[in-house]
Amino acid sequence: MKELLKFLKPYTKESILGPLFKLTEATFELFVPLVVAGIVTNGIEKGDNPYILKMGGLMVLLALIGLICALTAQFFAAKAATGFAASLREAIFDNIQSRTYSELEEQGTGALITRITSDVNQLQTGVNLFLRLFLRSPFIVFGAVIMAFTVNIKGALVFTICVPILFLVVFAVLLKSIPLYKKVQSSLETVTVKTRENITGIRVIRAFNCDDEESEAFDREIDTLKSLQLLAGRVTAIMNPATFLIVNVATLAVLYVGASQVNAGIIERGALIALLNYMAQILVELIKLANLIITMTKSVACGDRISTLLKEKNTEELPLIKENKFEKIDSVEFESVGFTYPGASKESLKDISFSAKKGEIVGIIGGTGSGKTTLINLICGYYGDYSGTINVNKENLKTFAEKECGEEANASKIATVLTKALRGSVGIVPQTAVLFAGTVEDNLKWGKNDATKEDMDLSLKRAEAYDFVYSKKGELKAEVTEGGKNFSGGQRQRLSIARAFIKEPEILILDDSTSALDFVTEKKVRAGIREIAKDSICFVVSQRAASIMDADKILVLDEGELAGCGRHEELIKSCEVYREIYKSQFPEAAI
């Protein structure tokens, strides 16, 4: 939790001024019971109206000064809390963006969303209340005890017994509730994941008529969250009744002691009223303190979770790498490359060796789970814990990354360095076409930020997307909704391909990116790929033999191993796996 304080450092001034103004307000508030006592003793009992008016004016003045101080404190506390939350969200977002594929898969989307939303919101509330109350409430409590001694020592002894008991109750609840709120936030993550799955997969759920099953599963998760929240609520709910009980018993004790002293003529009625006012102040502040502690309990639990997330990946430790380190890529080579996913029982890739040169189109084909996507992820540098050697321009990628990372090189840092070094040179179209909310132009400029209209038109034509884009209202300015849901699957794929084309990358990767296209459109897109491939190395992943038949080289994968490598004509004769794939798709073709 304390690691997060660095995000509050830019707001040191506000973090100091906020509590100071609250202390100033509290100081004036402590004098109010004395003024009330004076009004009762010297004004009301003696019938001195001018004195009552004078002291009444003093009370109004104290109230105005307190109001000004309170508003100023609220302003500084709110500024510090919102600034802290903004900086923290930025750090979490940067942390997520810098993570490798392995780390993202291990952490889970729901957990990351909960951290950057619910957890940060809870921390922001905690910081705000902490700056306003962490000095004020204890100051009022102990200040009231001290002021009570200036009024009457015997009556003030009740305060010295009451206050320690109250703090014992508060800290007992605190120790019990912190672990409970951690469980609540973890359960909230699970609900977030379930909600996200249902929203994104609603069509599949309805297609399989699983609405009731999913509703029941969601209800179970909600019931678990509700149970944890109720348990945590029951524990924290003890605080206010216990506080009221103790303070009210103490008030009765003050009345008993004070009334007997008033009857004996030892103290004035005003002094007894002052003691009761101080007891009331203690009650009010302890209620505030109880709410602060409940909020801080939640905040500490959330802060620990965020701190753990940020510790898992410290982006500040990574070296500064030039994003287009490999400006001109002439060759990519794999030498006995193997890879196993974390937690997997066997290798996803085993002993893969091949080479690709500039100007070549390399097709990659194989059955489901054969390792096609894993192979291209290694080309992009997404994973750093592979075996064997991957060379780009005859330079060993892992050796290069280890030199940049220094002695503390690990798979995560190696992957981060490689991804950044290759980022400017690789253009990729993933299996799932991903578009972002905005316009067609905005999405195309992800590939090339300074793209002209001519650049965009050319890439759209090569990707067979020109006609449907210009048929829409706004053309290049046509709206793209979240995920590109206002376009068909084939249109999303072609826009994703156009986005990669406009980049004119050194390495172009298309990962089964024409699966939603008909054969005629796909053939036209392949012509565009051939144009781009003249100045790049192009990898085309597909389960369709037709998509890679005209490639300069075809890699055939089978259960993570390279079953064959060559041109279509060669593989038909020499590779049984390729021949079976081809025959299954072209049963009437002569072989």
Which CATH number goes with the domain that contains 70?
1.20.1560.10
Q: Percentage of residues in the chain with pLDDT exceeding 90? A: 1
Question: Each residue of 481-529: pLDDT tens digit?
Answer: 877 788 888 888 888 888 888 888 888 888 888 777 777 888 888 888 8
Of the listed ranges 156-160, 334-338, 425-429, the least confidently predicted one is 156-160
Are residue 347 and residue 364 in the same domain, yes or no? yes
Are residue 173 and residue 293 in the same domain, yes or no? yes
The pLDDT score that the predictor gives to residue 107 is 67
* 3-state secondary structure (DSSP) of residue 333: strand
Which tokens sit at 138?
Answer: 């204890």
Are residue 405 and residue 547 in the same domain, yes or no? yes
513 in a structural domain: no
Is the pLDDT assigned to residue 364 strictly greater than 60? yes
Which tokens sit at 453?
Answer: 């209209």
C-alpha–C-alpha distance, residues 93 and 580, integer Å = 46
Q: Are 484 and 433 in contact (CB under 8 A)?
A: yes
C-alpha–C-alpha distance, residues 354 and 562, integer Å = 9
Q: Percentage of residues in the chain with pLDDT exceeding 70? A: 93
The pLDDT score that the predictor gives to residue 72 is 92
The pLDDT score that the predictor gives to residue 315 is 45
Are residue 12 and residue 131 in the same domain, yes or no? yes
C-alpha–C-alpha distance, residues 548 and 538, integer Å = 11
**Quick one: which of 43, 454, 266 has its CA closest to 275?**
266
- Which whole number is the average pLDDT over 406-429? 74
Which tokens sit at 115?
Answer: 């951290």
Domain boundary among 298, 315, 332: 315
Are residue 284 and residue 419 in the same domain, yes or no? no
The string over 459-471, giving b where at least 16 C-beta atoms fall within 10 Å of a residue's C-beta and e elsewhere, is bbebbbbbebbee
C-alpha–C-alpha distance, residues 199 and 209, integer Å = 15
The pLDDT score that the predictor gives to residue 187 is 83
Cα dihedral sign, 284-300-98-315: positive
Question: Each residue of 289-311: pLDDT tens digit?
Answer: 777 777 877 787 777 778 877 87
Are residue 74 and residue 125 in the same domain, yes or no? yes
Are residue 98 and residue 160 in the same domain, yes or no? yes
Residue 66, C-beta contacts closer than 8 angstroms, at least 6 positions apart: 25, 28, 29
578 in a structural domain: yes
The 3 state secondary structure assigned to 394-459 is CEEHHHHHHHHHHHHCCHHHHHHHHHHHHCCCEEEECCCCCCCCEEHHHHHCCCCCCCCHHHHHHH
Show the domain range for 6. 2-184+237-315
State which amino acid sits at residue 371.
G
Q: Which residue has the tokens 């500039």?
A: 358
489 in a structural domain: no
Q: In terms of DSSP H, where are the helices of 238-268?
A: 239-263
531 in a structural domain: no
329 in a structural domain: yes
Q: What is the distance of C-alpha 264 from the center of its chain?
A: 67
Are residue 70 and residue 153 in the same domain, yes or no? yes
Are residue 29 and residue 104 in the same domain, yes or no? yes
* 3-state secondary structure (DSSP) of residue 542: strand
**How many C-alpha atoms does 249 have within 13 Å on its Cβ side?**
10
Are residue 150 and residue 38 in the same domain, yes or no? yes
Which helix (H) or strand (E) is 159 found in, with range?
helix 153-200
Is the pLDDT assigned to residue 42 strictly greater than 50? yes
Are residue 47 and residue 103 in the same domain, yes or no? yes
The pLDDT score that the predictor gives to residue 316 is 43
Residue 572, C-beta contacts closer than 8 angstroms, at least 6 positions apart: 578, 579, 582, 591
The pLDDT score that the predictor gives to residue 100 is 67
Q: Give the pTM.
A: 0.64
Which CATH number goes with the domain that contains 356?
3.40.50.300
Which helix (H) or strand (E) is 538 found in, with range?
strand 537-542
**Quick one: which of 325, 367, 317, 430 has its CA closest to 556?**
367
The pLDDT score that the predictor gives to residue 312 is 67
Domain count, the chain: 2
Is the pLDDT assigned to residue 200 strictly greater than 60? yes
Cα dihedral sign, 411-412-413-415: positive
Q: Are 194 and 263 in contact (CB under 8 A)?
A: no
Q: Are 24 and 71 in contact (CB under 8 A)?
A: no
443 in a structural domain: no
What is the DSSP code string of 343-388?
T-SS-SEEEEEEEEETT-EEEEEESTTSSHHHHHHHHTT-----EE
Question: Each residue of 69-120: pLDDT tens digit?
Answer: 889 988 999 999 898 888 888 888 887 777 766 667 666 676 777 788 878 8
Report the 10 Å Cβ neighbour count for 477. Answer: 12
Question: Each residue of 391-409: pLDDT tens digit?
Answer: 888 888 888 877 777 666 6
90 in a structural domain: yes
563 in a structural domain: yes
Domain boundary among 269, 292, 315: 315
Are residue 111 and residue 134 in the same domain, yes or no? yes
Domain boundary among 315, 346, 371: 315
